A and B are shown apart, each in its own frame.
Chain A
């Protein structure tokens, strides 16, 4: 475990003996926020808010500044996202079967997150069906099937290089037959700049809806926690082609902070539901706003 200097320590060092938030303190704050991928625009916004609050409330101590900073960051996460998602693995209140479509750019962790989700639902006695609709990436179907075996859930596949929408269709059909609680559909990674691939998502949706009109009930965008400002564009572009209802942020077990989520929350009303913290089956956590903000300010 490496030593962790909190923002608190850093700020203390800067403002000892000073009575107002000066340029130096603000620079320090800027560095911390930018270095966590919060992004320039959102950082400026947070700093403005802090300046305004300090002006108004006349902060007196480092503790207070630290608290204000956390509050402002959390506020940005909260403004658009209301509550942290509770009972994330409860399906009783959901339509049955509940169809979850998982999307995102290449290599972010879609398939792994699906494996982990399947494990969580299965563990709670829910019936899970997975659909291997990434028929493009080499061995993508095998990868999902291995996850299915590992967790002990059904995987519907048509092999490689087949039509992803018909896999999705069959997965939903199979899920209905098996009276599944939740059907999770894996899709191929696609960069949001590729128009054809983005349109394919619309097709998958339409085909599934022929069978179950209200499906998919949820479309989850997976973001890699080490991604920088491009994640904002990913959120924007995926939102354009298909309504995104939730986010999962992966690979937060590394040193990346995933701060770009704050910027995304500032722009979109999409709640973060899960965070990935490793490659194993149980390395998935339900997102907690305050914990996330705290980890952002640890160095």
Chain B
């Protein structure tokens, strides 16, 4: 649908040019086209507005109207703007403390448990002593799920199947990790909605109890407009350090990434690209910008070829 955004923009500009209108209007119409493309990619309505407002200024500044390929220049400006918003370099994870504690949180089904396993495996390969902690005491078979993954990757899982208190489990796990000389503890938590007060309190309590050096907010890349509300609330409650964007092996545009970054200004640290334990990648802002714009993950494709 957006593969030819640049064509569309060219056309929008040319049509208007032909009518001999003033350039501000031409730019405005084209900006509207960009805004629609962003919203179609699930970029939040307000964020898309802000982005395109800035794009409009830049477009006028850079005299887009008299460019040979106005559409292409437009797309370039948009892409620059998105990349700037998405943040520069890939950011690292803070693993201070002995053991360092990483807390994983997010909505139901976003991919927390799977990511916990992947991240544990990633750290293990770096030679760290990892302990996975099963703090989801609600979802049927959530503990078993983490145990199965732990077994697959050869990482120990701390669980107390009869204990219904996630905060207690987290506390006990930390004590256990210390006696076993673990270097990193990854705490997988139950999925929760931002509006679920009891559950949000629980995760705040877990945070207080284990003092994580890194809190990661896991979000499904297919999420729509609501991503900002959720991210905002989780950030207010947990002040998380980074975002994990999952299920990017699909064909969602992933506009949520941009919205979240714009609203809470926390870096995206990892992307999850499959169900298998090695489907974990670091995040590249430029690729995400292209993806949102629908120009295909050209760079990735080229690299894979």
Q: Which residues of A contact B (CB under 8 A)?
A: 2, 31, 34-37, 39-41, 105-109, 115, 136-140, 142-143, 145-147, 150, 160, 191-194, 224, 226-231, 233, 251, 253-257, 260, 279
Contact = CB atoms under 8 A, between A and B. Distances in A.
B42 A229 contact: yes
B222 A230 contact: yes
11 contacts: A31-B45, A41-B40, A105-B247, A138-B152, A142-B144, A191-B250, A192-B250, A226-B220, A228-B256, A231-B224, A254-B194
Nearest to A136: B275
Contacts of B235: none
B304 interface: no
Given A109-B108, A138-B113, A227-B222, 16 more contacts: A37-B224, A37-B226, A106-B247, A138-B146, A143-B145, A150-B140, A226-B223, A226-B224, A227-B223, A227-B224, A228-B252, A229-B40, A230-B42, A253-B193, A255-B230, A260-B224
By Cβ-Cβ distance, the 7 closest A-B pairs, closest first, are A228-B224, A107-B109, A228-B42, A146-B140, A139-B145, A138-B148, A142-B141
B225 interface: yes
* SS of B interface (majority): loop
B111 A255 contact: no
B275 A137 contact: yes
Contacts of B152: 138
Interface in B105-125: 107-111, 113
B251 A228 contact: no
B109 A34 contact: no
Contacts of A228: 42, 222-225, 252, 255-256
User: Size band of the B side of the interface?
Assistant: 35 or more
Nearest to A147: B140
Interface of B: 36, 39-42, 44-45, 107-111, 113, 138-142, 144-149, 152, 193-195, 220, 222-227, 229-230, 247, 249-253, 255-256, 275
A193 B42 CA distance: 19
A191 B247 contact: yes
Given A142-B144, A193-B250, A40 B40 contact: yes
B273 to A, nearest CB: 10
Contact of A230 (B111, B225, B251): B251
A219 to B, nearest CB: 20
B108 A279 contact: yes
A109 B229 CA distance: 21
Contacts of A231: 222, 224
B140 to A, nearest CB: 4
B250 to A, nearest CB: 4
A5 to B, nearest CB: 15
A189 to B, nearest CB: 8
A130 to B, nearest CB: 13
A256 B145 contact: no
Nearest to A2: B195
A224 B42 CA distance: 15
A115 B42 CA distance: 31
A279 B224 contact: no
Contacts of B146: 138
Contacts of A192: 250-251
A139 B141 contact: yes
Nearest to A234: B222
A47 B276 CA distance: 44
Contacts of A227: 220, 222-224
A40 B229 contact: no
A2 B36 CA distance: 30
Given A106-B247, A193-B251, A255 B226 contact: yes
A61 B42 CA distance: 33
A115 B139 CA distance: 12
Contacts of B253: 229-230
B250 A105 contact: yes
Contacts of A233: 251
Contact of A40 (B36, B195, B256): B36
A236 to B, nearest CB: 11
B202 to A, nearest CB: 14
A160 B251 CA distance: 28
Contacts of B223: 226-228
Given A31-B45, A40-B39, A150-B140, A256 B224 contact: yes
A255 B229 contact: yes
Contacts of B147: 139
Given A228-B42, A228-B256, A139 B250 contact: no
Nearest to B219: A226
Nearest to B250: A191
Contacts of A31: 45
A254 B224 contact: no
Nearest to A253: B193
